[in-house]
């Protein structure tokens, strides 16, 4: 019998539409729990999750059975609906996202980076962070006018 194996770690980053601070301290833990379940249902377990009021970072292991685009689309759609059900009526995620591969040897480093978001963003704006990611990962297709929609 054949066997298919994969071990792909992804650092996923996306924001709220217009950078609006929808992710409050009152709802963030519930949102994290919801997203953990949504990713688990797509066989893509979350290893670390953290946010700021206007964006979220998720480190997860991508399922061999689902594309990255499908996992992102489904979890953003489901969590957007869930946020509205929680009373955040105008909630929506931005259309764009950043997804970056993480080698097994760097999982702990990225996990610590995500855990440290609150401190990190005392000195750096989300847009600055994204610009650094794009440059650091050599993403030549990045066009700010489309990413921030």
Task: Report yes or no on 137 lying in a domain.
Answer: yes
- 52 within a domain of the structure (yes/no): yes
Residue 20 lies in a domain: yes
Q: What CATH number did the domain enclosing 36 receive? A: 3.30.70.1290
| Spatial separation of the C-alpha atoms in residues 134 and 137, rounded to whole Å | 5
Is 134 a residue whose pLDDT tops 90?
no
Backbone phi and psi for residue 16, each to the nearest 5 degrees, phi listed first: -80, 155
- pLDDT value of residue 7: 92
pLDDT band at 107 (very low <50, low <70, confident <90, very high): very high
In DSSP notation, 61-108 reads EEPTTS-HHHHHHHHHHHHHHHHHHTT-TT--B-S--EEEEE-GGGHH
Q: Note the pLDDT tens digit of each residue in 12-65.
A: 999 999 999 999 999 999 999 999 999 999 999 999 999 999 999 999 999 999
Residue 89 inside a domain? The answer is yes
Whether residue 149 has pLDDT greater than 70: no
Span 80-105, average pLDDT: 95
Domain membership flag for residue 141: yes
Averaged pLDDT for residues 57-77: 97
Domain assignment of residue 79, yes or no: yes
Residue 17 or residue 124, greater confidence: 17
Q: Is residue 1 part of a domain?
A: no
Provide the residue range defining the domain that includes 71.
8-147
pLDDT score at 46: 98
User: Which pLDDT score is estimated for 4?
Assistant: 85
pTM (2 decimals)? 0.92
Question: Considering its fold, how many domains does the chain have in total?
Answer: 1
In a domain, 2, yes or no: no
pLDDT-derived band at 1 (thresholds 50, 70, 90) equals low
Per-residue pLDDT, 136: 86
Instruction: Flag whether pLDDT at 148 surpasses 80.
Output: no
């Amino acid at each position: 019998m054949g066997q298919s194996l994969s071990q792909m770690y992804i650092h996923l980053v996306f924001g709220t539409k217009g950078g609006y601070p929808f992710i409050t301290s009152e709802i963030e833990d519930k949102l994290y729990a919801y997203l953990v379940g949504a990713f688990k249902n797509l066989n893509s377990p979350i290893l670390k999750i953290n946010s700021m009021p206007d964006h979220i970072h998720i480190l997860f292991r991508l399922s061999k059975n689902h594309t990255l685009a499908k996992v992102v689309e489904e979890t953003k759609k489901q969590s957007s609906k869930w946020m509205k059900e929680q009373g955040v009526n105008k909630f929506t995620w931005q259309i764009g996202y950043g997804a970056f591969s993480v080698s097994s040897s760097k999982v702990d480093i990225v996990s610590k980076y995500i855990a440290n978001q609150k401190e990190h963003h005392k000195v750096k704006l989300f847009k600055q962070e994204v610009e650094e990611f794009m440059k650091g990962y050599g993403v030549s297709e990045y066009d700010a006018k489309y990413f921030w929609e």
